[in-house]
């Protein structure tokens, strides 16, 4: 075991056990935590400056016969337990005096940071038609000149010697420098408006962009979310009116307890820090988060290092002597946290009320996912209608759930329990409604792109109807246009995969028969239509309806609940149908798509911007028309320069050939 603060990456090999310093460090390798927890800033990799909590790797699952499971460590599956190279460990936490330890799994260019650096040093080759045609033209010119020279010379020696001059005559040495002149000036102008590039050759490609994909949150809309209200559910029914989370009458409810505990917030230098959504949700409760030291937990015989409690002003007015006891009875300690997963679209925590032995589980996530994990009798019958009503108004909706755990589950058993065993048979608690406003410049930029016949597409991890509502508000979908949702279902119970089609205005009432040719022809005549689909439908269509996928992306405008790798797949599919694709995102979960697109534009100034060819210091999509404008100017300049240099080469080549032919006895 070596202290990490004294270790360099050259001193480490996979399998080494290292100690993470309590005062934090920058990771020189990829390592998996085996003891303790860490708070890490992963902005270098993800573009997200929000601190992330890393927990120790759980014990392998045991099989049904009681033997050790054969689960193999995977970076993607166990990323919540992995400390990645280049990320900054802000602080560590430990239990019962043990050091925070990790096992080295990768070093050098094999790490996540190493792969990122490799992609920068050796970027994906730009298959640009202008350069391809230029090389082909010069090759043909050399071939024609060679034929002329062969017929104009007498001996083989002369043919060989003189033919070597063809390269310098037909291929001008100044051509590469002349071709980059437009790019250099465009790069200077882009720098003045706050757009920087690590791949200047892509500026020319920006002049050919005819489709731009946009992330929603933080790109088209504001970064922050405002708490609009809550909609609680009791006995399988919603309350008739919205409420506020800091209402004194709700302080003892499971709903508020879930809001106060089901998050990934932490205190750094006395300030609450974490995901903006979690921060808004917790602040709405008015509760207080306390992080105890190990000595304090040992003194009070507690196992929780983090607990929350309501302030005294939210509690019922007791006698002064009973105030402390009443406050302590509402203290809830966080025993274990299952961090948010974009693939699972949920997070959960296991908590224990101070003074009790039995534990509770709270769940938070996408409403459809949470409802599927709850008992059917606890989910209101009008759940779909209420959710649809809020999402169509553009609100971001999050669902909460609760479950009372079995008394046999102790602290140590919970630490070794799979999250799937915790996140089941939940009781539905209700909905949190949050508002995400459009950025002021978004509608104007999208209108400019529409007038320029540049297609725009939204790719987001948010709810489908919320995304469609935002697309209509910002002008990506015109008021008179119709939106058709493609809902694909995988094979089940011997039945083949299928797709159902319905209008977004009435998703549960109107089913469309597709792809009937007559219906398609009527749609074409009656109105312009857009397709919308979720990440799950996209995955099913990609696997089972490959022949239909390219047709769908030609009219697909809204892609919701998309995982990071699905965003990359969408960009690749759009490129396969001969689109020149631009991707604009804030850097979080967009790195793959930003690297894969012809022109990726990151709105993040953090280190994650190196994953994108272009980075804008202004966090708005006004950079997109500026980049396309400069790209077109550079492209026209390159065309004109090549025409001039090619004509110069042709004149020079013909002149030399003519001079040789005058004195050639073969021709005479």
**Where exactly are the structural domains of the chain?**
16-59+75-121, 129-183+633-663, 192-222+439-631, 226-435
What CATH number labels 192-222+439-631? 3.40.50.1000
* β-bridge partners, 534: 560
What is the C-alpha separation between 281 and 256, in angstroms, rounded?
10
428 three-state secondary structure: strand
Judge whether 465 and 396 are in contact, CB under 8 Å: no
Per-residue confidence (pLDDT) for residue 528, from 0 to 100: 76
63 is catalytic: no
> Residue 319 carries which DSSP code?
-
| C-alpha torsion angle, residues 598, 604, 606, 610 (rounded to 10) | 0
155-167: average pLDDT: 67
List of E strands, 405-479: 427-435, 455-459
What is the C-alpha separation between 389 and 386, in angstroms, rounded?
5
Between the alpha carbon of residue 279 and those of residues 272, 283, 433, the distances in Å are 8, 6, 14
Using left for φ > 0, alpha for ψ between -120 and 50, and beta otherwise, residue 307 falls in beta
Judge whether 170 and 145 are in contact, CB under 8 Å: yes
What is the C-alpha separation between 527 and 425, in angstroms, rounded?
45
At 62-83, the pLDDT tens digits run 444 444 455 677 776 777 888 8
**Helix 129-152 × helix 623-662 angle, to 10°:** 0
Per-residue confidence (pLDDT) for residue 449, from 0 to 100: 94
Whether residue 159 has pLDDT greater than 70: no
Neighbour count for residue 491 (Cβ, 10 Å): 12
| C-alpha torsion angle, residues 132, 135, 136, 142 (rounded to 10) | 180
Judge whether 511 and 501 are in contact, CB under 8 Å: yes
Weakest mean pLDDT among 142-156, 206-220, 411-425, 521-535: 142-156
Weakest mean pLDDT among 93-107, 301-315, 347-361, 532-546: 301-315
First to last CA, the chain: 88
What is the C-alpha separation between 469 and 471, in angstroms, rounded?
5
Taking Cα atoms as reference points, which of 620, 552, 631, 633 lies closest to residue 584? 620
Q: Which residue has the higher pLDDT, 137 or 219?
A: 219
Per-residue confidence (pLDDT) for residue 473, from 0 to 100: 86
Whether residue 558 has pLDDT greater than 90: yes
Per-residue confidence (pLDDT) for residue 458, from 0 to 100: 93
At 474-491, the pLDDT tens digits run 889 888 888 888 888 888
At 634-644, the pLDDT tens digits run 989 988 888 88
Whether residue 320 has pLDDT greater than 80: no
Between the alpha carbon of residue 156 and those of residues 163, 167, 500, 543, 666, the distances in Å are 10, 18, 73, 61, 13
96-119: average pLDDT: 79
Weakest mean pLDDT among 123-132, 215-224, 508-517, 570-579: 508-517
| C-alpha torsion angle, residues 438, 441, 443, 444 (rounded to 10) | 170
List of E strands, 211-299: 211-214, 226-234, 237-238, 266-268, 271-273, 288-291
Between the alpha carbon of residue 284 and those of residues 134, 169, 257, 278, 434, the distances in Å are 62, 75, 12, 10, 11
Q: Which residue has the higher pLDDT, 444 or 246?
A: 444
Judge whether 456 and 380 are in contact, CB under 8 Å: no
Taking Cα atoms as reference points, which of 575, 578, 577, 602 lies closest to residue 588? 602
Q: Which residue has the higher pLDDT, 11 or 47?
A: 11
What is the C-alpha separation between 47 and 124, in angstroms, rounded?
21
What is the C-alpha separation between 216 and 206, in angstroms, rounded?
21
Which residues are CB-neighbours of 197 under 8 A, at least 6 positions away? 187, 190, 203, 613, 614, 615
Out of 215, 360, 427, 586, the active site residue is 215
Tokens of 286: 């008015």
203-229: average pLDDT: 84
pTM score, two decimals? 0.65
Q: Which helix (H) or strand (E) holds 499?
A: strand 498-503
- The gap from C-alpha 74 to its chain's centroid, in whole angstroms, comes to 19
Half-sphere exposure of 15 (CA within 13 A, CB side): 1
503 three-state secondary structure: strand
CATH value of 16-59+75-121 in 3.40.50.150, 3.20.20.370, 3.40.640.10, 2.70.150.10: 2.70.150.10
Whether residue 48 has pLDDT greater than 70: no
Judge whether 97 and 294 are in contact, CB under 8 Å: yes
Per-residue confidence (pLDDT) for residue 300, from 0 to 100: 46
Judge whether 598 and 575 are in contact, CB under 8 Å: yes
Given CATH 3.40.1110.10, say whether it is the number of domain 226-435.
Answer: yes
Judge whether 637 and 184 are in contact, CB under 8 Å: no
Per-residue confidence (pLDDT) for residue 128, from 0 to 100: 62
What is the C-alpha separation between 348 and 262, in angstroms, rounded?
6
Per-residue confidence (pLDDT) for residue 450, from 0 to 100: 92
At 370-408, the pLDDT tens digits run 998 888 888 888 888 888 888 777 787 889 999 888 877
Write down the H helix ranges in 432-563: 442-451, 464-473, 517-526, 535-544, 546-555
Angle at alpha carbon of residue 426, lines to 425 and 430, rounded to 5° = 150
Whether residue 298 has pLDDT greater than 50: no
Q: Which residue has the higher pLDDT, 523 or 54?
A: 54
Taking Cα atoms as reference points, which of 364, 552, 538, 559 lies closest to residue 467? 559
Judge whether 366 and 463 are in contact, CB under 8 Å: yes
CA R_g for the chain: 31
* β-bridge partners, 309: 288
| Full strand arrangement of the beta sheet holding 599-602 | 195-197, 614-616, 599-602, 581-585, 211-214, 455-459, 556-560, 529-534, 482-489, 498-503, 511-512
């Amino acid at each position: 075991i070596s202290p990490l603060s004294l270790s360099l990456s050259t001193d480490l090999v996979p399998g080494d056990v290292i100690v993470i310093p309590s005062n934090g460090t920058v990771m020189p390798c990829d390592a998996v935590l085996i003891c303790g927890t860490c708070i890490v800033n992963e902005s270098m990799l993800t573009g997200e400056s929000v601190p992330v909590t890393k927990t120790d790797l759980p014990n392998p699952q045991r099989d049904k016969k009681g033997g050790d499971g054969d689960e193999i460590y995977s970076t993607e599956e166990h990323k919540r337990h992995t400390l990645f190279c280049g990320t900054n460990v802000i602080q560590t936490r430990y239990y019962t005096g043990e050091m925070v330890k990790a096992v080295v799994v990768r070093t050098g260019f094999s790490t996540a940071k190493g792969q990122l650096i490799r992609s920068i040093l050796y970027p994906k080759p730009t298959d640009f038609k202008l350069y391809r045609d230029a090389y082909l033209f010069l090759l043909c010119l050399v071939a024609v000149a060679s034929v002329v020279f062969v017929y104009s010379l007498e001996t083989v020696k002369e043919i060989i010697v003189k033919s070597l001059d063809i390269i310098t005559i037909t291929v001008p040495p100044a051509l590469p420098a002349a071709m980059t002149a437009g790019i250099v000036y465009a790069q200077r102008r882009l720098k003045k408006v706050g757009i920087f590039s690590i791949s200047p050759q892509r500026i020319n490609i920006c002049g050919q962009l005819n489709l731009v994909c946009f992330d929603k949150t933080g790109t088209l809309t504001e970064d922050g979310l405002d708490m609009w209200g809550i909609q609680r559910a009791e006995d399988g029914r919603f309350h008739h009116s919205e409420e506020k989370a800091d209402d004194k009458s709700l302080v003892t409810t499971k709903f508020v307890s879930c809001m106060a505990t089901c998050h990934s917030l932490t205190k750094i230098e006395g300030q609450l820090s974490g995901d903006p959504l979690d921060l808004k949700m917790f602040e709405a409760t008015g509760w207080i988060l306390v992080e105890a030291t190990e000595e304090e937990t040992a003194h009070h015989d507690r196992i929780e290092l983090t607990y929350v409690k309501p302030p005294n002003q939210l509690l019922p007015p007791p006698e002064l002597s009973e105030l402390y006891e009443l406050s302590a009875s509402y203290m809830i300690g966080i025993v274990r946290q299952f961090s948010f997963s974009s693939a699972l679209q949920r997070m959960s925590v296991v908590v224990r009320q101070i003074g009790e032995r039995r534990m509770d589980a709270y769940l938070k996530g996408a409403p459809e996912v949470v409802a599927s994990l709850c008992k059917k009798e606890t989910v209101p019958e009008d759940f779909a209608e209420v959710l649809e009503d809020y999402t169509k108004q553009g609100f971001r909706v999050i669902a909460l759930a609760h479950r009372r755990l079995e008394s046999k589950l102790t602290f140590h058993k919970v630490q070794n329990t799979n999250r799937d065993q915790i996140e089941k048979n939940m009781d539905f608690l209700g909905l949190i409604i949050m508002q995400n406003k459009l950025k002021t410049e978004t509608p104007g930029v999208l209108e400019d792109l529409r007038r320029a016949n540049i297609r725009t597409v939204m790719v987001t991890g948010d709810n489908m109807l919320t995304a469609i509502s935002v697309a209509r508000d910002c002008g990506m979908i015109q008021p008179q246009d119709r939106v058709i949702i493609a809902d694909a279902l995988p094979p089940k119970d011997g039945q083949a995969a299928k797709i159902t089609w319905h209008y977004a205005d009435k998703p549960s009432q109107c089913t469309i028969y597709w792809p009937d040719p007559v219906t398609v022809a009527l749609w074409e005549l009656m109105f312009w239509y857009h397709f919308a689909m979720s990440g799950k439908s996209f995955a099913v269509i990609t696997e089972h309806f490959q022949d239909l996928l390219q047709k769908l992306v030609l009219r697909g405008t809204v892609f919701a609940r998309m995982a990071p790798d699905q965003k990359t797949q969408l960009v690749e599919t759009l490129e396969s149908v001969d689109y020149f694709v631009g991707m604009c995102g804030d850097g979080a979960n967009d790195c793959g798509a930003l690297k894969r697109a012809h022109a990726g534009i990151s709105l993040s100034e953090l280190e994650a911007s190196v994953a994108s060819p272009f980075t804008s210091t202004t966090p708005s999509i006004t950079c997109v028309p500026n980049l396309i404008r400069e790209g077109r100017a550079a492209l026209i300049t390159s065309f004109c320069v090549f025409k001039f240099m090619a004509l110069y080469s042709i004149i020079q080549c013909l002149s030399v050939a003519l001079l040789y032919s005058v004195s050639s006895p073969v021709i005479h």
